[in-house]
Structure 1
Amino acid sequence: MEDLNSRYGLNPAHSEVVQACELIEPCRALDMGCSTGRNALYLSQRGFEVTAVDVNPDAIDRLQSIVDQEGIRTLRPRVYDIQQARIDAEYGFIACTVTLMFIDASRVAAVLSDMQQHTVPGGYNLIVCAMDTDAYPCPMNFPFTLRPGELSQAYAGWELVKYNEDPGTMHHGARLQFATLLARKPE
Structure 2
Amino acid sequence: MTVDLNSRYGLNPAHSEVVEACQIIEPCDALDMGCSNGRNALYLSQLGFDVTAIDVNPSAIHMLEDIIKQEELTNIKAEVYDINRANLDADYGFISCTVTLMFLDPARVDAVIADMQQRTKPEGYNLIVCAMDTPAYPCPINFPFTLNEGQLREFYEGWELIKYNEDVGTMHNGAQLQFATMLAQKPS
User: TM-score band, normalised by the shorter chain?
Assistant: over 0.9
- Deviation string 1:62-93 (CA, Å, 9 cap, x unpaired) is 00000000000000000000000000000000
Write the mapping of 1:74-153 to structure 2, written as runs, cut at 5 A: 74-153=75-154
- What runs of 5+ residues in structure 1 fail to find an aligned partner? none
Equivalent residues, number: 187
In the alignment, what sits opposite 2:29?
A: 28
- What runs of 5+ residues in structure 2 fail to find an aligned partner? none
In the alignment, what sits opposite 2:4?
A: 3
Tell me the secondary structure at the aligned position of residue 148 of structure 2: coil
Tell me the secondary structure at the aligned position of residue 86 of structure 1: coil
Tell me the secondary structure at the aligned position of residue 116 of structure 1: helix
Tell me the secondary structure at the aligned position of residue 166 of structure 1: strand
In the alignment, what sits opposite 1:174?
A: 175
In the alignment, what sits opposite 2:63?
A: 62
Moved over 3 A (4+): none
Distance 1:20 1:41 in 2: 15
Q: TM-score, normalised by structure 1?
A: 1.00
Q: What is the letter of the counterpart of residue 21 of structure 2?
A: A
- Deviation string 1:19-44 (CA, Å, 9 cap, x unpaired) is 00000000000000000000000000
Percent identity (aligned): 70
Q: TM-score, normalised by structure 2?
A: 0.99
Q: What is the letter of the counterpart of residue 130 of structure 1?
A: A
Deviation at 1:117, TM superposition (A): 0.1
Distance 1:6 1:132 in 2: 33
In the alignment, what sits opposite 1:51?
A: 52
- RMSD of aligned residue pairs (Cα, Å): 0.3
